[in-house]
Amino acid sequence: MRVLFVTAVLPSHYFVMAPFAWALRAAGHEVCVAAQPELVETVARSGLPVVPVGGEADFAARYRDRTAGRPAGAGARPGDPKALFCTVADGMADDLVAFARRWRPDAVVWEPTTLAGPLAAAACGAVSLRYLWGPDIVGRGIGRHNLPPQFAELFARFGIDVDDIPEWWNIDACPDDLQVTGNTQRVPVRYVPYSNSQHVPDWFLRRDGRKRVCVTLGITMTEVAGGKSFFAPRVLDALAELDIDLVTAVVPTQRPLLEGRVPDGVRVAEDGALHMLLPSCDLVIHHGGVGSMLTAALYGLPQLTITQMPDQSFYSGYLAGTGASVHLTGDEADPETLRSVVRRLLDDPSYRRAADGIRTAMLSRPTPQQIVPTVERLVAAARGAAPTRTCAPEQGAA
């Protein structure tokens, strides 16, 4: 079986799919990734073959242009991002469709912002698999009929009527309690943390007896929203007086923003493997990105999200609704509020119990390896070799 992964926009969206790509590869299937040029190196570092398609899209710059001059709080409105996703897809389409028709994959896996993915699947008759990386903010659980007119126009350019294509399947790595309802043809899968940051300083695993609090802004926050969105220094300043082991995790591009602004006693993990640090933590403070959110959830950690963009507020609202977190907008996160909320999250056991419940639910899902047979059955069904009713994964199957 040949499986083509398609990714665009942000590295963090590809990272959620990478463990599944490797599960397919380990099962003996052929895997290739098609990506915009600026993501080629990111994909190559994951060890999978990658084909560049289209030109440089610079999604981060386009997004910043849409939000320029707007406040950083929850009220900032970037316009309809789906229209921007369609613009990005249009730039990928010619190269991607040409490659898909030459390589002839049996399935195409794509993440929700990469709308050229279902086009490639339709163009070569492959099974279309939409890999969700968090609460379904793009599709809102409805599917292909909830996309803007540009989507249909993109299909028409290649002689395809979007109403004639089969509805795609949703491989869903988001816990049920955090997910938008309504997705049909859904294949639950366990979220597995992955990134290209893999360093593990020895102090990650050493505790000094105090509760450890990690402050992180993910890998793309400052790229998309600009340096002014980097709230780590003011959070570290506000919490430095508390009797806690305070650490912050940053990527190399964020490290200069901390120069001269790190309180005494605070340790900085630069380009470290977040999933290796978090098991030693008691609380995670982050920007509301789904990668940070789901990685913290997998380890049963209470969370404080400080959001500055509409999508972050959307995700954080679902998380706060579980009782495992507190959500503040950037404007609400003054020093006294930060200290009060952190004390509450560390001292009130209800937050940890709610977080443990999410962790248990996540671990009960089939792993990426365990859903490989599901994809095999979907492909066989599309060829007429097996009934579609056999495609549901067996929960807990070995």
Give the Cα separation of 286 and 326 in Å (integer): 11
Spatial neighbors of 314 by CB under 8 A, at least 6 apart, are 135, 137
Cβ pair 278, 293 in contact under 8 A? no
Strands 267-270 and 303-307, bridge-based pairing:
unpaired
What pLDDT was estimated at residue 129?
97
**What percent of the chain has pLDDT above 90?**
64
Whether residue 30 is predicted with pLDDT greater than 70 in this model: the reply is yes
CA 384-389-393 angle, to 5 degrees, is: 115
Residue 59: CB atoms within 10 A of its CB come to 23
Same fold, 2-189+366-391 and 202-362: yes
- pLDDT grade, residue 96 (50/70/90)? very high
DSSP bridge pairs for 35: 7, 52
What pLDDT was estimated at residue 389?
35
- pLDDT grade, residue 61 (50/70/90)? low
DSSP bridge pairs for 6: 34, 110
Give the Cα separation of 259 and 390 in Å (integer): 56
pLDDT tens digit sequence for 305-362: 999 888 889 999 999 999 999 999 989 999 999 999 999 999 999 999 999 999 999 9
Largest interatomic CA distance in the chain: 65
Fold of 202-362: Rossmann fold (3.40.50)
Token readout for 130 is 């939409």
DSSP bridge pairs for 213: 246, 283
What pLDDT was estimated at residue 137?
82
What pLDDT was estimated at residue 212?
98
- Kindly state the helix (H) or strand (E) to which residue 33 belongs, with its residue range: strand 30-35
* Residue whose entry in the numeric block shows the structure tokens 């903010």: 137
Cβ pair 63, 78 in contact under 8 A? yes
pLDDT tens digit sequence for 244-270: 999 999 988 888 888 888 999 999 998
DSSP bridge pairs for 305: 286, 327
Query: Phi/psi zone of residue 69: left (φ > 0), alpha (ψ -120 to 50 degrees), beta?
Result: left
- Class for the domain spanning 2-189+366-391: alpha beta
Looking at per-residue confidence, does 221 or 398 come out higher?
221
Give the Cα separation of 17 and 35 in Å (integer): 13
Domain boundaries defined on the chain: 2-189+366-391, 202-362
Give the Cα separation of 349 and 242 in Å (integer): 19
- pLDDT grade, residue 184 (50/70/90)? confident
How many Å is the Cα radius of gyration of the chain?
21
Per-residue DSSP letters for 184-206?
Answer: -SEEE-------S--B--GGGG-
Give the Cα separation of 156 and 36 in Å (integer): 22
User: Phi/psi at 160 (nearest 5 deg)?
Assistant: -120, 130
The three-class DSSP label of residue 130 is strand
Per-residue DSSP letters for 34-50?
Answer: EE-GGGHHHHHTTTS-E
The three-class DSSP label of residue 270 is strand
Taking the CA atoms of residue 340, residue 343, residue 177 and residue 107 in that order, the dihedral angle to the nearest 10 degrees is 100
Give the Cα separation of 328 and 315 in Å (integer): 12
